[in-house]
């Protein structure tokens, strides 16, 4: 019975955090930001997901998850903006990339553990794997595959103590599953934020960008390689919560943002968005 519950939870969490498609990158994931943007996304178990990959965008066809989720896909080539279309573009934001880089690592989920500050957050890599990130003050963030935590406890030195990192799964309410960080020598020294709470802390960390009636949160992150930060590869992530509370995440390799050359992506409901990088600034355009 326990085995069956663990298997069910693995399948459900896989649906929540890693939509299928080997070549597609993820379409799925400041304190004090308006609750209206974050909270509705977690009131439903059904989620709609859209992706952008190296050269492809997915939106609008449909495929149903075997357990719990509806996922919506479409496919569209990512192409450089043509001259005729450029004249119809309107700039809607200019983002400071150095200020945005990895900002999601320091969410409002800050705890005093082992005599030091620790932040809990979440991230995805380009292979669509979902991670919980643990940032100990004075060190680089470490990333742990969320699915693997269901069956494998990990140990993390924090200050003078060692903490066990694990996942307490709730198969029937997966967003209530808890990431547990517990002092091995003192079980009362522990924190256990839920997946829902972690995601709710991550979303407001992105810069807000409005394209017509669509509101995105934009992130700029280092990639993850074997559980460690990979500073050689970066990714831009656009996240939208629609009027029904579903989350749409568009993840784009940063190398697609060519210096002084606009590239157009098809995003939520086929809204075309142009991006143009100029040094440390990412300019974002709505395309008519």
| Model pLDDT, residue 31 | 35
Shared domain check, 115 and 96: no
Domain end call among 149, 174, 198: 198
> What's the confidence (pLDDT) of residue 247?
75
SS3 at position 271:
coil
Secondary structure (DSSP) of 92-155: EEEEEHHHHBTGGGS-S-EEEETTEEEEEEEEE-TT--EEEEEEETTS--EEEETGGGGT--EE
pLDDT at 17: 52
Using CA atoms, how far residue 262 sits from 40, 50, 99, 246, in Å, is 33, 21, 22, 29
The CA-CA-CA angle for residues 8, 177, 159, to 5°, reads 130
Q: Are 122 and 58 members of one domain?
A: no
Among 198, 230, 251, give the residue marking a domain's end: 198
State how far the Cα of 236 lies from the Cα of 47, in Å rounded to an integer. 21
**DSSP string across 144-198:** EETGGGGT--EEEEETTEEEEEEEE--TTSGGG-EEEEEETTEEEEEE--BHHHH
Domain count for the chain: 2
- What is the pLDDT at residue 60? 30
Q: Are residues 163 and 136 in the same domain?
A: yes
On whether residue 175 sits in a domain, the answer given is: yes
- Domain extent at residue 58: 35-100+207-287
Query: Which residues, given as ranges, of the chain have pLDDT below 70?
Result: 1-87, 128
Last residue of a domain, one of 150, 176, 198: 198
Is residue 28 a part of any domain in this protein? no
Whether residues 193 and 225 share a domain: the answer is no
Q: Report pLDDT for 81.
A: 40
Q: Per-residue pLDDT tens for 105-145?
A: 999 999 999 889 999 999 877 776 788 999 999 999 999 98
Task: Write down the pLDDT at residue 36.
Answer: 33
User: Is residue 158 included in any domain, yes or no?
Assistant: yes
In a domain, 239, yes or no: yes
Of 65, 36, 34, the C-alpha closest to 48 is 65
* pLDDT confidence of residue 202: 92
């Amino acid at each position: 019975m326990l085995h069956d519950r663990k298997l069910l939870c693995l399948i459900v969490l896989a649906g929540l955090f890693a939509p299928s498609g080997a070549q597609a990158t993820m379409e799925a994931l400041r304190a004090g930001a308006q609750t209206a943007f974050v909270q509705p996304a977690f009131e439903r178990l059904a989620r709609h997901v859209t992706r952008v990959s190296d050269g492809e965008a997915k939106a609008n066809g449909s495929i149903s998850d075997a357990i719990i989720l509806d996922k919506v896909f479409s496919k569209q080539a990512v192409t450089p903006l043509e001259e005729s279309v450029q004249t119809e573009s309107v700039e809607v934001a200019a983002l400071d990339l150095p200020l945005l880089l990895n900002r999601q690592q320091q969410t409002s989920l800050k705890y005093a553990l082992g005599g030091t500050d620790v932040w809990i957050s979440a991230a995805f890599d380009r292979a669509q794997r979902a991670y919980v990130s643990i940032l100990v003050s004075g060190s680089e963030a470490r990333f742990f595959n969320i699915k693997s935590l269901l069956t494998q406890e990990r140990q993390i030195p924090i200050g003078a103590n060692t903490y066990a990192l694990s996942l307490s799964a709730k198969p029937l309410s997966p967003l209530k599953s808890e990431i547990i960080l517990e002092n091995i020598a003192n079980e009362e020294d522990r924190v256990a934020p839920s997946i829902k709470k972690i995601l709710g802390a991550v979303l407001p960390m992105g810069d807000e960008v409005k394209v017509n009636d669509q509101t995105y949160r934009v992130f700029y992150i280092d990639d993850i390689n074997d559980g460690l930060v990979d500073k050689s590869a970066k990714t831009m992530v656009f996240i939208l919560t629609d009027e029904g509370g579903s989350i749409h995440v568009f993840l784009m390799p940063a190398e697609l943002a060519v210096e002084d050359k606009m590239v157009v992506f098809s995003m939520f409901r086929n809204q075309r968005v142009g991006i143009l990088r100029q040094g440390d600034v990412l300019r974002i355009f709505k395309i008519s």
